Structure 1
Amino acid sequence: MKRFLSKLCLSGVALMTAASLSSTASAAEELTIAHSTWVGYGPLYIAQEEGFFEDEGLDVKLVIMEDVKTRMPALAAGRIDVAVTTIDTVLGFYTPEHPLSYLFALDDSRGGDGIVANQDIKSVADLKGKNVAFTEGSVSQFFLSVLLKDAGMKLSDINAMNMSAGDAGAAFVAKRVDAAVTWEPWLTRGQDTEHGHLLVDSTKTPGLITDIMVTTNETLEKRRPEMEALYRAWTKAIAWQKENEEAADVIMAKGVGGWLEDPAVFAETRAGIAFYDDAMNKKFMDTSNTDGILGTIANAKELGEEAGLFTIDAEPASLIAADIVK
């Protein structure tokens, strides 16, 4: 009889625990994350598919919003909770009314972006006075601006031609411009021409073109535990991807979709980036490390203000929620 009662009590406890867990899961507030179609965001779909979000008590909704001019205002308006974009892009949408916080890095370009140029252009300094195609207001402009700055030049020293990355690459292949800031497959196509070569690519600038999770300060204060859980789920997804590359490419290609829906294309594109794991994030997001996110923000802030795109009074370190990765 005692044994029966004991079993009955244990069963009751188990039912209560299960009910409690079920209630907690159902009570989780949806966390909406918006991103564009890009290979670097693939691990989010691993976290969803493999249950890492659920393990962390999160109810995550992933939404594709291609235009950053739609994505970032949606974040400010509270229609989404977190947005993914490049570090430099965030500064263009920062306002005192809607301050933003960088949470953690997802990926950076390690050869996926670059400049193809005519054979007679041997250095960035040789771009002076040349017709250079790139997308104005994009990460391509930021990449080019930093390279020009390092060479003691400005955008005004070149003849800027505003085109999409694809059109810029095609224009270079067709000999309509002297150089193009673009990405694959146009980097390969450009350097495969008789007149062209790869002048420089993003392997020379690690951490410069970096995708980042960003939220509003208001959302961060209200939902900080969820942001920490989101980071933990991300690191689990990266660890899983490293151990299961082929299966991961299938999951990520299906999730991200669009022009990356073929796992083979996804894998080829992925070769030009690096996913940020826990160790990389701890180093990159460290506010005492001037070679990490602080350096990228400082570069973007200086160049953006110089070009008259925005003015930000806040110190770069104040924009970083460094405790999230700790």
Structure 2
Amino acid sequence: MFNARNLFVALLAASTLATASLSPALAEKKKEFNIAWTIYVGWMPWPYAAESGIVKKWADKYGISIKVTQINDYVESINQYTAGKFDGVTVTNMDALTIPAAGGVDTSAIIMGDYSNGNDGVVLKKGKTLADIKGQKVNLVELSVSHYLLARGLETAKLSEKNIKTVNTSDADIVAAAKSPDTTAVVTWNPQLLEVKAEPGATLVFDSSKIPGEIEDLLVVNSATLKDNPELGKALVGIWYETIALMKDQSEKGKAAREAMAKLSGTDLAGFETQLKTTFMYYEPKDALAFMTGAELPKIMDHVRTFCFDHNLLGENVKSKDAVGISTPTKALGSTTNVKLRFDPTYMKMAADGKL
């Protein structure tokens, strides 16, 4: 997952950007849009679509212009979106809640792209089951999805964070830390996870396939911008499904597309496909739609918001996990007067129905 999951203390931006949603520039009819993305296996269709002409094709269809911009730092991409510099951004469900939504920017998830299905994991050098982690120091990127994965794993082992001690370690340093004799427990994501679990004596004791659907990778857009410019939603969803059809295609054409995506992400085809194996891609709009409109999503987001509140990620003075409202097609969570994160299936349904 490269650096695309490093939330660490990014919430600091939320309090200072809380007025960004009030910017009139975000709520108007317009023709030019800019979407930010960062390197991660599940988001590589975006730069490929831009380079191959798929972005232009769909933008032209709806009479608009869409720029797809790479930001080298994941957290910075979300901060810039929150500040109104981008109309949309690639982001996890947890970070969509804790940065733009908690920062006051009404945000809509219009594409449910994939979920981590083994890309994130807990590795022990001392112990063979997750229960053996009790009493150990655990190296991980604190307050990231690694931290969330650990917390959810501990629940399954009838443990809590009180039973371990976390050691904040950047994603850039996690592999080196894992090699240290003093390090006995590590939580990380691919491609670092591949290296960490290959260490002699290392055992993967828990991974994200055990909490399917909980670490989601989304495309979100500013809700006001989307409301005033539905053409943007139609074009983005059209771009996405045309491109991931190529990603899935096992012909030479599909292989060439994956090779290009791999190169854009800094790896080779073998490395890219290894990461794809532990990423549950929603290749068909009907499948993404079924998940977004199903009964599991509200339960998942309740787990996520509980973790975020317990770790002070919804804001310094927030008194309840209900402070930030979350709207899903089947159930609303939290405040009904402060809904800031919306799971909007409108455009995926249009794709599923062949109406784009």
Give the counterpart of 2:262 among 232, 250, 253: 253
Deviations 1:179-211 (A, max 9, x none): 101133443433333332111222222212221
Partner of 2:307: 303
1:324 Cα deviation after fit: 2.4
Distance in 2 (alpha carbons) for counterparts of 1:139 and 1:96: 19
Residue type of the partner of 1:80?
F
**Whole-angstrom CA distance in 2 between matches of 1:275 and 1:47:** 17
Q: Which residue of 1 aligns with 2:292?
A: 285
Q: Distance in 2 between matches of 1:189 and 1:47?
A: 30
Match of 1:144 among 141, 146, 150: 150
CA deviation vs aligned residue, 1:53-82 (integer Å, no higher than 9, x gap):
333235321111233432223222321110
Gapped runs of 5+ residues in structure 1?
A: 1-26
Q: Map 1:309-320 to 2 at 5 A.
A: 309-310=313-314, 311=318, 312-317=323-328, 319-320=342-343
| Alignment deviations for residues 279-307 of structure 1 (CA, whole Å, 9 cap, x no partner) | 32111211xx232x333322110111112
Q: CA deviation at 1:212?
A: 0.5
2: CA distance, partners of 1:263 / 1:30? 33
Give the corresponding residue for 1:39: 41
- Shift, 1:135, TM fit: 0.1
Residues 1-326 of structure 1: pairs in structure 2 closer than 5 A:
29-56=31-58, 57=61, 58-93=64-99, 94-95=101-102, 97-123=104-130, 125-243=131-249, 244-254=253-263, 256-257=264-265, 259-260=266-267, 262-277=268-283, 278-286=285-293, 289-291=294-296, 293-310=297-314, 311=318, 312-317=323-328, 319-326=342-349
1:174 CA drift (Å): 2.3
The alignment partner of 2:235 has SS state of: helix
3-state DSSP class of the match of 1:92?
Answer: helix
Instruction: Answer yes or no: is the 8 Å Cα contact 2:259–2:269 preserved in 1.
Output: yes
For residue 28 of structure 1, report the CA deviation from its aligned partner. Answer: 8.0
Q: Which amino acid aligns with 1:309?
A: L
What is the rounded CA distance, in whole Å, between the counterparts of 1:107 and 1:84 in structure 2?
11
Local SS of the residue matching 1:108: strand
AA partner of residue 254 (structure 2): E
Deviation at 1:87, TM superposition (A): 0.6
Partner Cα distance (1:214, 1:34) in 2: 10
1:19 corresponds to: none
1:222-280 residue CA offsets vs partner (Å, 9 max, x unmatched): 222311221122111111222243111122134x34x33x3443333333323222132
Change (3 A) 1:216 1:153: farther
Q: Secondary structure at the match of 1:212?
A: strand
The DSSP-based 3-state class of the residue aligned with 1:309 is coil
Structure 2 residue runs without a partner (length 5+): 1-28, 333-341, 350-356
Going by fraction, where is helix more abundant, 1 or 2? 1
2: distance between equivalents of 1:248 and 1:303?
37
**Which structure has the greater CA radius of gyration?**
1
Equivalent pair of 1:165/1:181 in contact (CA under 8 Å): no
Counterparts of 2:214 and 2:102 in 1: how far apart (Å)? 23
2: distance between equivalents of 1:240 and 1:87? 25
Q: 1:224 to 1:145 in 2, by over 3 A?
A: farther
> For each residue in 1:152-191, what CA deviation from the matched residue of structure 2 results, as whole angstroms up to 9, or x when unmatched?
4332321101002342333223232221011334434333
* Number of positions where the alignment pairs a residue of Structure 1 with one of Structure 2: 293
Opposite residue 322 of structure 1, the aligned amino acid is P
Cα deviation 1:54-113 (Å, max 9, x = unaligned):
332353211112334322232223211101111111111114742222111222222221
Alignment partners' CA distance in 2, 1:152 and 1:271: 29
Provide TM-score, normalisation by structure 2: 0.75
Give, as a single letter, the amino acid of the residue that structure 2 aligns with 1:36: T
Q: TM-score, normalised by structure 1?
A: 0.81
SS in 1 for 2:301: helix
Aligned equivalents of 1:80, 1:309: Cα separation in 2: 23
SS in 2 for 1:274: strand
8 Å CA contact 2:126, 2:132 repeated in 1: no
Partners of 1:41 and 1:235 in 2: CA distance: 12
Deviation readout 1:102-152 (Å, 9 max, x if unpaired): 1112222222211110242412x3322211111012121121122223334
Q: Matches of 1:165 and 1:96 in 2, distance apart? A: 25
Tell me how large the CA RMSD over aligned residues is.
Answer: 2.4
